[in-house]
Amino acid sequence: MKIGILCYPTFGGSGVVATELGKALAEKGHSIHFITYSQPVRLEHFQENVFYHEVTVADYPLFEFAPYETALTSKLVDVAIFEKLDLVHVHYAVPHASVAYMAKQILKEQGYNLPFITTLHGTDITLVGKNESYSPVVTFGINQSDAVTSVSRSLRDDTYRNFKIRKEIEVIPNFIDLQRFSKLKKDHFRRAIAPNNQRIIVHASNFRAVKRVSDVVTVFNKIHAEIPSKLLLIGDGPERSRVEKECRESIGCDDIRFLGKLEAVEEVLSVADLFILPSESESFGLAALEAMACQVPVISSNTGGIPELNIHGVTGFMSDVGDVENMANNALTILRDDHTLNEFKQRALEQAKRFDIHEILPIYENLYARVLKSSTITS
Ligand code: GMT
């Protein structure tokens, strides 16, 4: 199949899922065309069957806001015709679903049928999409999609609750490449970070308010007061400098390191003993899945789709959002002795295996085939 993919090219979860899905489909022989405003971060190497089409937004002094959606639509129309795309898969509804709809209408006038599938990822529904500035367009884009998927049951339910959706939303969970995300032998790295065999705790996110990174630091300080430990924070974003200032005033300050945006997250996860994800809202929690695949148990909030991933008392623990006391106590239960820790690590890996990309990829391929079949009949 020839498949167009619209996504955000940044470190955000939806862009990562879109890129990894595209790469895996390309390996199976599909032609994959990424259409976005810059090279997706996980598209770092040349790969057969993978193409990247950059959207350039022409500026004009009249524009206070250059119309990205118009440029993206035009690019999609152009790529669809030239590359003879069979369908488009858009990740993150805002603005990709309505862009795909518009392109579909333009192409229809030219006798070309281009079905599109919308995958909802989280904040496109729970935060941004339901804002009145976007909601009518998001609702329309979802309802006009040839198929709609969400990355968790929780997100599907949120979508039905927040929007007037007539379409069936199919849940296809996120996935993990266990070849890439597995515990690597990094003893030298572990010794460098924790020379006295301290426990290593990790958090990774885009440092937006919704991630509650301050809670990570508070939980860490409580753990640190009880057992020797180090905290590594991966990522960058609007909250980072505020949290860094908070850290400077905290007792565990010398044992906290900000690593910034890292490409090889799996190298850090390979030496980690615990991952903390205290988010306010989280439709899936891809970062936690990446940690679990590297045998790292998870301390998380119990919001959104997290309970579909992190099993309380088995792969980690969940607490109410903001209950840092409970999170710290649970963390100490896992970290206090090696035997318990190793059991949690093994079970985290077992759970991650359920999300193996090789299990999830055929579900998407099957969906594409169904959409193509039904849109050929109706066109
Ligand atoms: O977490 C973010 O703010 C980024 C966001 C995105 O769309 O890029 O992530 C969402 O999609 C990920 C991939 O499906 C999910 O794993 C995240 O849980 C989800 N984030 C939220 O719901 C806050």
Residue 4 Cβ inside 6 Å of ligand 1? The answer reads: no
- Angle subtended at Cα 355 by Cα 352 and Cα 359, rounded to the nearest 5 degrees: 140
Residue 127 has a pLDDT of: 85
CA of 251 to the centre of ligand 1 (A): 31
Mean pLDDT of 347-367: 97
Give the pLDDT band (50/70/90) at residue 375: confident
Give the pLDDT band (50/70/90) at residue 225: very high
- Indicate which residue's Cα is closest to atom 7 of ligand 1: 14
Residue 379 has a pLDDT of: 64
Residue 211 Cβ inside 6 Å of ligand 1? The answer reads: no
CA of 124 to the centre of ligand 1 (A): 9
CA–CA gap between residue 155 and residue 158 (Å, rounded):
5
Question: How many CB atoms sit inside 10 A of residue 100's CB?
Answer: 29
User: Does residue 276 contact residue 207 with C-beta atoms inside 8 Å?
Assistant: no
Mean pLDDT of 131-147: 96
CA–CA gap between residue 121 and residue 283 (Å, rounded):
7
- Token pair in block for residue 277: 């994800």
Mean pLDDT of 20-40: 96
For 15-64, give the DSSP string.
HHHHHHHHHHHHHTT-EEEEEESS--TT--S--TTEEEEE------TT-S
Give the global pTM: 0.94
List the CATH code of the domain at 2-175+357-378: 3.40.50.2000
Q: Which amino acid is at 245?
A: K
Fold classification of 187-353 (topology level): Rossmann fold (3.40.50)
Question: How many CB atoms sit inside 10 A of residue 212's CB?
Answer: 24
Peptide bond into 173 cis (omega under 30): no
Lowest mean pLDDT among 31-45, 150-164, 167-181: 31-45
- Token pair in block for residue 59: 């500026």
CA of 273 to the centre of ligand 1 (A): 23
Residue 41 has a pLDDT of: 84
Most ligand 1 atoms within 8 A of CB, residue of 41, 128, 239, 286 to mutate: 286
What's 206's DSSP letter?
-
266: β partners: none
* Domain boundary assignment for the chain: 2-175+357-378, 187-353
Residue 283 Cβ inside 6 Å of ligand 1? The answer reads: yes
pLDDT digits (tens, 9 = 90+) for 191-223: 999 999 999 999 999 999 999 999 999 999 999
Residue 151 Cβ inside 6 Å of ligand 1? The answer reads: yes
Burial class from Cβ neighbours inside 10 Å (0-12, 13-18, 19+) for residue 150 reads buried
Residue 125 Cβ inside 6 Å of ligand 1? The answer reads: no
pLDDT digits (tens, 9 = 90+) for 293-302: 999 999 999 9
- Token pair in block for residue 183: 């515990």
Residue 286 Cβ inside 6 Å of ligand 1? The answer reads: yes
CA of 88 to the centre of ligand 1 (A): 21
Question: How many CB atoms sit inside 10 A of residue 70's CB?
Answer: 13
- Angle subtended at Cα 36 by Cα 33 and Cα 38, rounded to the nearest 5 degrees: 115
pLDDT at 19 over 90: yes
Q: How far is CA 318 from CA 16, 310, 321, 326, in A?
A: 25, 8, 9, 9
Residue 376 has a pLDDT of: 77
Residue 206 Cβ inside 6 Å of ligand 1? The answer reads: yes
User: Does residue 331 contact residue 223 with C-beta atoms inside 8 Å?
Assistant: yes
Burial class from Cβ neighbours inside 10 Å (0-12, 13-18, 19+) for residue 177 reads middle
Q: Which ligand 1 atom sits closest to the C-alpha of 152?
A: 14
What's 311's DSSP letter?
P
Instruction: State the chain's mean pLDDT as an integer.
Output: 95
Element spanning 333, H or E: helix 324-335
Helices (H) then strands (E): counts for the chain: 14, 13
Residue 330 Cβ inside 6 Å of ligand 1? The answer reads: no
- Token pair in block for residue 258: 């900000």
Residue 328 Cβ inside 6 Å of ligand 1? The answer reads: no
What's 175's DSSP letter?
-
pLDDT at 49 over 70: yes
pLDDT digits (tens, 9 = 90+) for 58-108: 999 999 999 999 999 999 999 999 999 999 999 999 999 999 999 999 999
CA 292 to chain centre: 14
CA–CA gap between residue 159 and residue 88 (Å, rounded):
21
Residue 283 has a pLDDT of: 97
pLDDT at 126 over 80: yes
The CA radius of gyration of the chain, in Å to the nearest whole number, is 22
User: Does residue 339 contact residue 322 with C-beta atoms inside 8 Å?
Assistant: no
pLDDT digits (tens, 9 = 90+) for 265-289: 999 999 999 999 999 999 999 999 9
Intrachain domains 2-175+357-378 and 187-353 with the same fold: yes
Question: How many CB atoms sit inside 10 A of residue 41's CB?
Answer: 16
Residue 212 Cβ inside 6 Å of ligand 1? The answer reads: no
User: Does residue 50 contact residue 76 with C-beta atoms inside 8 Å?
Assistant: no
CA of 222 to the centre of ligand 1 (A): 27
Q: Which ligand 1 atom sits closest to the C-alpha of 155?
A: 22
Share of the chain above pLDDT 70, in %: 99
b/e code 325-345 from CB counts within 10 Å (16+ = b): eebbbbbbebbeeeeebeebb
Give the pLDDT band (50/70/90) at residue 231: very high
